[in-house]
Amino acid sequence: MNGIIIAGVLIAGVGIFIGIFLGVAGEKFEVEVDPREAAILDTLPGNNCGGCGYPGCSGCAAAIVKGEAAVNQCPVGGAPVAAKISEIMGVEAEEGVKQVAFVKCIGDCEKANTNYKYTGIEDCSVAKRAPGGGPKACDYGCMGYGSCVKACQFDAIHIVNGIAVVDKDECKACGKCIEVCPNHLIELVPYEAKHIVQCSNQDLGKKVMQVCKTGCIACHLCEKNCPVQAITVENNVAHIDQDKCIGCGICAQKCPKQVIM
């Protein structure tokens, strides 16, 4: 019995000692946190999506306070959150262009050819490892198995008729869909972009027409007719410089494959 009592006293004593030690150590080694960091963290939406480029909202808040990130660093919060953070930081809110994700492919079930019927796991990254890089005849097109859909926390992207389509009013430009697309088809574009090329195929025109009815054939008509030189054809596919584009629509009118929206 005495042994049990002694053991109990020893355990209690050790517990008390550890408690006191941790308390003293906590006060001695406590790291002071800038109150602005906590205020910014409360202001951020809390999605921890990583779209800001930092590990979660706490990382973003710390970076803003240190001056390593802009007050509008959070793509999810947008202008309203940026305005509140600028108040906390005592600076003017920076003007930013709202961006949204865009899938550079128009090759849906009716327009794009397939080489075989795929019956594996419904995931683009998995299907990409199937023979021929997947069933789609176009090596550059959207595979339509929804890796991007699963990655989106905001229900802003869906598979429609075999290809991913972004709801730009729901998109927060977090970039998660960009990270998971095995064909690197998704990019951020201005919300107000007037015209965008809906193709990523880098093959020569003849081969493009063999796999898709509407792929860019690098005919250069859009490039030649653009009045402000906002379009260039690189690697056999047209690209629009959104900073130069004036939205005149001539490129869309001239495109014989109707691949410019």
Fold of 97-192: Alpha-Beta Plaits (3.30.70)
d(CA 112, CA 208): 10
Asked whether the domain spanning 194-261 has the same topology as the one spanning 35-89, the reply is no
* Percent of the chain predicted with pLDDT > 70: 88
223-250 pLDDT, tens digit per residue, is 999 999 999 999 999 999 999 999 999 9
* Cα-to-chain-centroid distance, residue 109: 25
Residue 142 three-state SS? coil
The pLDDT tens digits of the residues spanning 62-75 come to 888 888 888 888 88
CATH topology of domain 194-261: Alpha-Beta Plaits (3.30.70)
pTM for the model: 0.74
b/e burial code for range 11-40 (CB count within 10 A of at least 16 → b)? eeeeeeeeeeeeeeeeeeeeeeeeeebebb
Highest CATH level, class, for 35-89: mainly alpha
Query: Where do the domains of the chain lie?
Result: 35-89, 97-192, 194-261
